[in-house]
Amino acid sequence: MPHPVLASPDLIRFEGDTPHLVGSRCDECGEVYFPATDSCTRCTATRMSPHDVGHRGTLWSWTIQGFLPKAPYNSGETPETFRPYGVGYVEMESGIKVESRLTVADEALLQIGMPLELTLIPYRTTGEGDESEVFTFAFRPSASA
């Protein structure tokens, strides 16, 4: 089965059907970055390698986005179609914290420390006549929790 069209294909790789976030790791000091970067702010080295950030983490902090984001956000939502959504920092197994959309927007269902897993959600359409969906990454409560 082909993988979906991604809003930022450089941020995601697949292991079978499982998406993983891709960042970079400094070849000199080991500092990990997401998204990937060309140089290290820790030791100033410029030798960076792609790094699998993973697909599981825990909720470190969160909020509910209750208003339509401003440009350059381009999901195609309008003030009439906008629905609040969760946004959180997810601490990955490597220790790096990734800011991400959450699939849950109910504060009663969000708890700091809860296990999460990476998923893909519709973000916008291509706008190329066929209106195919373009996906972005988000985190959802882990099925194994």
- The full 3-state SS of 19-61, as one line of letters, equals EEEEEEEECCCCCEECCCCCCCCCCCCCCEEEEEEECEEEEEE
User: What would the pLDDT profile of 4-41 be if each residue is shown by its tens digit?
Assistant: 999 899 999 999 999 999 999 999 999 999 999 999 99
Give the pLDDT confidence score for residue 75 in this predicted structure: 82
Is residue 86's pLDDT more than 80? yes
**Amino acid letter for position 101:** R
CA angle 53, 56, 58 (to 5 degrees): 110
Planar angle of CA 49, 51, 53, nearest 5 degrees: 160
Record the pTM. Answer: 0.90
Domain residues of the chain, as ranges?
9-20+54-141
Mean pLDDT of the chain: 92
